[in-house]
Structure 1
Amino acid sequence: MGKSSRCIYRYGDLIRSMVAALLMVLISSAAPAGEVFSTFPKTPATDQRYIIYVHGRIIETEGVDPVSPRFGLYAYGDIVAALARTEAHVIAHLRVGDTDPFHYADFLTEEITAMISHGVPPQNITLVGFSKGGYITLLTAKRLQNPSLRYVVMAGCTSGVVDGRDRRADGLQGSILSMVDVADDLGFSCAPLFARNPQLSQADDMTFHAGTAHGFFYRADPAWINEVLCWSEAGAT
């Protein structure tokens, strides 16, 4: 499946968090920030890298920066801003209502296909999804069937995906990083999905030990933000 992430998570939670925070400061001061788009640009820049952030379900029904009784503030604005701290452009499209994940995966497939048709190299596109957005990311990877695209799935593998009852993402293509917190009981590691799909160009799986479960990805923690940025940069031209 290819080599593992070149990022820093393998050095332990405390060191990882400290170094990630320092790296974010250095990256922010050394590199120009990317633009943030609320919709897909009709004429995307062919010489830029793009991160597409697919948010969790709570924003569909509660709006931007909602507060969960269990996990607290979902700092959507902070997350999008953190992802745009390097030169990568960020596309942060808001879903409204109880969005059908399969229809939205069709929408993303059309938009990403259009970006590639306009000349954006597929290896310069990273689709990043959290929770329901992570599941949508898997469905999109299955539809696109492009081994050069890059994906990050955060707490997005459901119990059905893990145990094989839901195989609607099986057969997916691309390079995929799965991330979860050790205490999460809503979204799980995608490692079993990866094991069933050896055709993936690259696959890696990370478990954080913050103990905040789903809430770990509710905030722009440098530990996971840095891993997303590293994964995005790793395959870019």
Structure 2
Amino acid sequence: MFSSLSFAGDIYDKFPEQIKANEKYVFYSHGFIVEGTNPTPKNERWGVYEFPAIKKSLADSQYNLIAYHRPKGTDPFVHAKSLANDVRKLLKKGVEANHITIMGFSRGAFITSLTSHYLEKTPVNTVLLAGCGRIVSNKYSDIKMNGAFLSIYETTDGAVTCEKLKNRSPQLTSFDEISITTGEEHGAFYRPIHEWVVPVKQWVIEKSS
């Protein structure tokens, strides 16, 4: 669904044509498997990635949700720079930095961490879901986060704590981390289960208030 008007609670798959400075905005970046044309692809181990249902569950009357469906072969660095520019557009329209949240899962979390890094000292809110695996923690050790930061990870997954990322990010204003244990490994974030959706929405609303 693409909405041409900006009312809190809307879901956008493109950057909104109209921005209201007094409203709040959340960007959600999906995992790698969704890149392409299918919004509900299936992984043999973790099942169906329910992108439409995730967007619906993350939507809230307190903010507008922007969730792009990335094409196959998307360069994460290029997309992160584009996402950072979208955040800057909101800021130029008068939206306060703490009224903007960037959020992502897996590859989307990597893109989100890059976006926070590119925004440098801009204190937007950032949520990483299963975001601190090998790539974020070690291979790209120059990535630093800014503003308020929430990490949620599944204890049976390979991507766990974001402590390393937190420790090398001096511009953070706060850090919260939640572990969940569903036994579903990476697939815990393939569906909008309450274990992660509820705390994410509570945190976003609290930090943007």
Whose helix fraction is larger, Structure 1's or Structure 2's?
A: 1
| Aligned match of 1:192 | 164
Aligned length: 203
193-202 or 213-222: bigger deviation = 193-202
- Kindly report which structure 2 residues correspond to 1:136-175, keeping only aligned pairs within 5 A, or say none: 136-162=111-137, 164-170=138-144, 172-175=145-148
Cα drift, residue 147 of structure 1: 4.5
| Bigger radius of gyration among the two | 1
| Aligned match of 2:104 | 129
Contact 1:183–1:213 (CA<8 Å) still a contact in 2? yes
Q: Secondary structure at the match of 2:35?
A: helix
Structure 1 unaligned blocks of 5 or more: 1-31
Cα drift, residue 148 of structure 1: 2.5
How many Å separate the matches in 2 of 1:101 and 1:137?
A: 9
How many Å separate the matches in 2 of 1:44 and 1:33?
A: 10
Whose strand fraction is larger, Structure 1's or Structure 2's?
A: 2
Structure 2 unaligned blocks of 5 or more: 1-6
Alpha-carbon spacing, 1:37–1:150, altered in 2? closer, same or farther (3 Å): same
Contact 2:8–2:23 (CA<8 Å) still a contact in 1? no
Contact 1:129–1:152 (CA<8 Å) still a contact in 2? yes
- Kindly report which structure 2 residues correspond to 1:23-102, keeping only aligned pairs within 5 A, or say none: 34-61=9-36, 63-102=38-77
Cα drift, residue 213 of structure 1: 0.8
Q: Secondary structure at the match of 2:104?
A: strand
How many Å separate the matches in 1 of 2:85 and 2:122?
A: 17
What is the TM-score normalised by the length of structure 1? 0.80
Contact 1:151–1:174 (CA<8 Å) still a contact in 2? yes
- Kindly report which structure 2 residues correspond to 1:4-23, keeping only aligned pairs within 5 A, or say none: none
Alpha-carbon spacing, 1:75–1:160, altered in 2? closer, same or farther (3 Å): closer
How many Å separate the matches in 2 of 1:161 and 1:56?
A: 15
Contact 2:156–2:183 (CA<8 Å) still a contact in 1? yes
| Aligned match of 1:202 | 174
The two structures, once aligned, show a CA RMSD in angstroms of: 1.7
How many Å separate the matches in 1 of 2:179 and 2:34?
A: 24
Alpha-carbon spacing, 1:120–1:33, altered in 2? closer, same or farther (3 Å): closer
How many Å separate the matches in 1 of 2:19 and 2:160?
A: 33
Cα drift, residue 89 of structure 1: 1.0
Residue identity over aligned pairs, in percent, reads: 32
What is the TM-score normalised by the length of structure 2? 0.91
Contact 1:139–1:168 (CA<8 Å) still a contact in 2? no
How many Å separate the matches in 2 of 1:219 and 1:160?
A: 23
